[in-house]
Amino acid sequence: MFTRRQILLSAAGSMLPLYAQTRARVETPLKIRSVEPFLMRIGRRRDIVCCRIRTEDGLHGWGEGTTPPNVQPVLAQIRSLAPLIIGQPAWDIEKHWRKMYITEENSLGGTLFAAISAIDIALWDLVGKAAGVPVYKLLGGRIHDKIRIYASYRWGAIPRTREAYFNRTRELMADGATAGKWDPFGEYPGPDRQLPTQVLNEVREMVRGVREAGPAFDICVEAHGKFNMAAAGRIIKMLEPFDPFFLEEPVPPENVDAMAALQRSTNIPIATGEGLQSHFNFRETLNKQSARILQPDAARTGGITAMKKIAAMADAAYVTLAPHNPNGPVCTAASLHVAASIPNFLIMEEGNREVGQYNSIFAGGWQARSDYWLVPEAPGLGADFTPEFVKEYEVRG
């Protein structure tokens, strides 16, 4: 008959090998040896800015800072930031983020935050690999088992009619899609930001076709910040009978008061945030309640570190997150890990549809579903580039 003390001691003894292994992992110095920017061409859509961080322990992590068309400035900015963290332990992610931000705050802008994003994501990937766990476990664990996605710009070159959009939506639903986004307004308007009545009527019929094809299909309408207040007001009134899931940036996002006035005028959730950098720049949007859905981009806003803070700020305001993700596989992986770990995740953009190479990038292959994705379970991000892949897809010169 064993005593309680003997049982506890025996259990503790059996855990010692695991404890020792875990302690050895987290006590690895992870001293940063190099920070290297790469321009990768993955798919035909656009060039993707990536960053590889290597440590003296032989580990590496990949990040992404894609913000087209500014690829060359981002590459240069990554090189500029590299000396700030080379020689430092990769564990200190928050410290590195703050140092990069404060040191370069006189040149704040999209290029800087794309570079910070690439470095930050690479650090999280590296630390996850060192700890032997997927990144979402370092972020507090998984809340969502599946990450819902919406089909992005998959309507194709079809006639701008109710029938055409009815048929195409049925095809998307047959493929498994439960939500979809597109910009039905066509080319950018003139300097007056007006919307011709003919275009408004065409869009009404297109949206009608989508709704009739899928009564439960979530319609996401993109406006790309193209219109003035008068045109945006007409768009909102036209859309309301069709109950869209959200309307993205009906006016330019820099005037928070204007967008707040539109949000107060309708129950359609307005979405914004793809162009906002860091949690600092989301504060006014939340304070003025100008949107009910935030769309931070992991490759533009400051990486995983900033995304988690934005999510927490939004959660306190009862606002949800729908990560913007028209980028490459590393940004997709980072967004998946953040989405899995936050309570106010809503839906995510499916991103680059040309995913032929993704099977060789994601551990365990890539599930090309149209309704949801699963979070990678491999250590780190679960997305990695082999030397052979880099050699084949890197853009040089």
pLDDT, one tens digit per residue, over 121-173 is: 999 999 999 999 999 999 999 999 999 999 987 888 899 999 999 999 999 99
Do the Cβ atoms of 257 and 233 come closer than 8 Å?
no
Average pLDDT estimate for 98-102: 95
Question: What pLDDT is stored for residue 240 in this prediction?
Answer: 98
pLDDT, one tens digit per residue, over 159-179 is: 999 999 999 999 999 999 999
Residues sharing a CB contact under 8 Å with residue 71, sequence separation 6 or more, in sequence order:
39, 47, 49
pLDDT winner (highest mean) among 66-70, 100-104, 377-381: 377-381
Output the CA torsion 86→90→92→93 (10° steps): 90
Calculate what percentage of the chain has a pLDDT beyond 70.
91
Question: What pLDDT is stored for residue 67 in this prediction?
Answer: 82
pLDDT, one tens digit per residue, over 192-213 is: 899 999 999 999 999 999 999 9
pLDDT, one tens digit per residue, over 342-351 is: 999 999 998 7
Quote the CA–CA distance of 293 and 61 in Å, as a whole number: 31
Is it the case that residue 13 has pLDDT exceeding 50?
A: no
- Say what angle helices 71-85 and 110-131 make with each other, to 10 degrees: 50
Q: Of 172, 173, 171, 168, whose CA–CA distance to 157 is shortest? A: 168
Average pLDDT estimate for 176-198: 92
Catalytic residue among 60, 96, 279, 324: 324
Active site residue 324: yes
Confidence of residue 59 (pLDDT cuts 50, 70, 90): very high
Confidence of residue 234 (pLDDT cuts 50, 70, 90): very high
Do the Cβ atoms of 330 and 63 come closer than 8 Å?
yes
Question: What pLDDT is stored for residue 9 in this prediction?
Answer: 41
Q: Go through the domains of the chain in sequence order and give each one's CATH number.
A: 32-132 (3.30.390.10), 138-384 (3.20.20.120)
Query: What phi, psi does 315 have (nearest 5°)?
Result: -60, -40
Do the Cβ atoms of 35 and 81 come closer than 8 Å?
yes
Is it the case that residue 331 has pLDDT exceeding 50?
A: yes
Lowest mean pLDDT among 33-37, 39-43, 214-218, 270-274: 39-43
Chain length of the chain: 397
Question: What pLDDT is stored for residue 308 in this prediction?
Answer: 98
pLDDT, one tens digit per residue, over 212-231 is: 999 999 999 999 999 999 99
Between CA 326 and CA 336, with CA 330 as vertex, the angle to 5 degrees is 75
Q: Of 308, 254, 325, whose CA–CA distance to 120 is shortest? A: 308
Burial 65-89 (b: 16+ CB within 10 A, else e): bbbeebbebbbebbebbbebbeeeb
Alpha carbon distances (Å) from 299 to 67, 186, 277, 315: 7, 26, 10, 21
Q: Of 375, 305, 289, 334, whose CA–CA distance to 100 is shortest? A: 305
Instruction: Find the radius of gyration of the CA atoms of the chain.
Output: 23
Confidence of residue 63 (pLDDT cuts 50, 70, 90): very high
Amino acid identity of residue 75, one-letter, is L
Residue with the larger pLDDT of the pair 8 and 291? 291
8-state DSSP, 376: P
Mean pLDDT of the chain: 91
pTM of this structure: 0.92
Burial 8-44 (b: 16+ CB within 10 A, else e): eeeeeeeeeeeeeeeeebeebebebbebbbbbbebbe
Confidence of residue 45 (pLDDT cuts 50, 70, 90): low
Quote the CA–CA distance of 365 and 208 in Å, as a whole number: 38
Q: Of 356, 359, 292, 360, whose CA–CA distance to 322 is shortest? A: 292
